[in-house]
Chain A
Amino acid sequence: MQESRYQIFINSRGLEKENTPFGPRNLKRVGEMGIRTLFMICAIVSILTTIGIIMVLLQETILFFSQVSIIEFFTETRWTPLFASKKFGILPLVNGTFLTAFGAMLIALPLGLMAAIYMSEYASERNRKLLKPVLEVLAGIPTVVYGYFALTFITPIIKSIFPDTQIFNAASASIVMGFMILPVVASVSEDALSAVPQSLRHAAYALGVTKLEVSTQVVVPAALSGIASAFILAISRAIGETMIVAIAAGQQPKLTLNPLQSIETMTAYIVQVSLGDTPHQSIAYQTIFAVGMLLFLMTFVMNVVSHFITRRFREVYE
């Protein structure tokens, strides 16, 4: 809309002045077009990034699947590409990823939502302005720091409660990851809660409803689409999280639901291979792209679903 007005304006100026092909007016217009094109190319870099990700992942993934059957990839229960007897079953890595992500969600989702409810419904303006930035510091701490915290602080605590805990275990990574993701849930959910119009709350109060009931039975349901997309975003973040699990959760791909055992996630496997000197063109080199492809597809689907929910199911008031 803005553009059309500019365009009319520039056109009308061009008509008034001399309109020779190499006149100053036209040269200026060519310059303007050049600048515009340059800016457009920069905007297209983002599309090229997406294409680049897909191309790079696809290229090596195809090479990988020319040697390993896709059925083995999804049904085999052992993942040993770095051993002499190679088995390529992704299930143990997926299991590890979901085990840690699930544990993190047990912390991040309820605590994040409660934090959001407090900030949106209960906190005074002054307290909100104080609490929110402090909580957001949690999200800004580098993940390698959380990894350190999980391994050297949380793991010994878990070990003192459950003595047969392994040094590297899913539980300590989960707990720390949960607190890292908490502010994401809190921040996105709070935006959704604050967007619920005041009139809805007032109507409920007028019917004699208490504040607790307004919060949990009026505001939260009204903001459900925003909260749902916050939750999906959080799960996608947990699945893609790398350093915490690489440091604290171990390097043993295992099909287990026991959080006290050492496991390996998809991201931690990519780190493990990257740390070694894996020759280019080897099957081990290709596995990290195949694992990366699956990881990319998982998070991509979740992000799209989250985006779709906010768009499609948003309750529009007024």
Chain B
Amino acid sequence: MNIEKFYDDDLSGQIKAKNFQGKIFEILCLLAILLGISILLILLIDVTLDGIPWLRPQLFNSFPSRFPDQSGLRSALQGTLWMAILTAIIAFPIGVSAAIYLEEYASDNRFSRFIEINIANLAGVPSIIYGLLGLGLFVRGLGLNRSVLAGSLTMTLLILPTIIVTSREAIRAVPRSLRMASLALGATQWETIRYHVLPYAMPGILTGLILGMSRAIGETAPLITIGALTYIAFDLRGPMDIFTVLPIQIFNWISLPQKDFHDLAAAGILILLAILLSLNSIAIYLRNRLQHRW
């Protein structure tokens, strides 16, 4: 009797200890997530506190200047707008076409598997390498100089993997029966894709495009490499003009020693984050509202 009692106590003690360890582990794991989230919050609060006083109309209307209180983001905002639109116009058709080919036409052979592995690898190439590609190919090779067009082409190559992968997922989600029904009624394969697959896949494809665009808008390094960092004090008029973008202007201000320029950079960051936040909200809206459930 005595021995059994002793044994029971010991066992329940062990279980208690183990449960305690388990609880500690669970809390530690939760803390890991909360630490990440709190860094995010601290970052946002820090940037907001620094930047809010500088958010004035002048920030949007003026060109950059040597004096912080006369500096603005006019040329940077124009550059970002031009680059984002040009990139979307170039990248969208190429990316969607590639996705359609891989999902609808390509048979499962070495060639299509090679393309797939290649796209996965491209997604892992550091963005600054794309900058070197753009510098060698578009700026020097094609003689586009440091133009918005050269920047947009570079960004196109950078975001193509994102667009292709998300578009493929959207196309794959359209059920096969729809294609079969269309073909059975005498439509050709292209007609089937055009009138039945693409309309249903479009919300997903647009989500991919928006994700790609927000990546392009936030990228700095490749555009610095192709030489976009220029002090620009005139309006951007065409795709062959030299340009600067929001993140580069922010980077420029961070590199200056004066505290005022750092705060100006924080104000620029607030605008950049606001743009990205609204783009992502559109993406989430598209995904939730327009996507067809099968």
Contacts and interface: CB of A to CB of B under 8 A. Distances in A.
Interface of A: 1-4, 6, 9-10, 13, 28, 31-32, 35-36, 38-40, 42-47, 49-50, 52-53, 56-57, 59-60, 110-112, 114-115, 117-119, 122, 131, 134-135, 137-138, 140-149, 151-153, 179, 182-183, 186, 210-213, 215-216, 233, 236, 239-243, 246-247, 267, 270-271, 274-275, 280, 288-289, 292, 295-296, 299-300, 302-304, 307
Contacts of A300: 121, 124-125
Interface stretch (B22-30, B64-72, B200-208, B232-240): B22-30
A270 to B, nearest CB: 6
Interface stretch (B1-9, B54-62, B81-89, B262-270): B262-270
Contacts of A144: 218, 220, 247, 250-251, 254, 269
B33 A56 contact: no
A90 B176 CA distance: 54
B278 interface: no
Contact of B47 (A40, A148, A240): A148
* In the complex, the 7 A-B pairs of residues with the closest C-beta atoms, listed nearest first: A240-B126, A142-B218, A56-B136, A118-B29, A42-B97, A39-B101, A114-B32
Nearest to A122: B26
Q: Which size bracket describes the interface of B in this complex?
A: 35 or more
A242 B190 contact: no
B292 interface: no
Contacts of B126: 239-242, 267, 295-296, 299
A186 B29 CA distance: 11
A170 B105 CA distance: 49
Contact of A42 (B101, B128, B188): B101
Given A240-B127, A274-B224, A49 B133 contact: yes
B118 A151 contact: no
Given A117-B29, A142-B220, A148-B265, A247 B251 contact: yes
Interface of B: 18-19, 21-22, 25-26, 28-30, 32-33, 35-37, 39-40, 42-43, 46-47, 50, 93-95, 97-98, 100-102, 104-108, 114-115, 117-122, 124-133, 135-137, 140-141, 157, 160-161, 164, 176, 183, 186, 188-190, 214, 217-221, 224-227, 229, 247, 250-251, 254-255, 262, 265-266, 269, 272-273, 276, 280
Given A118-B30, A152-B46, A210 B19 contact: yes
B119 A56 contact: no
A295 B22 CA distance: 42
A289 B36 contact: no
Contact of A115 (B26, B36, B130, B136): B36
A211 B19 CA distance: 8
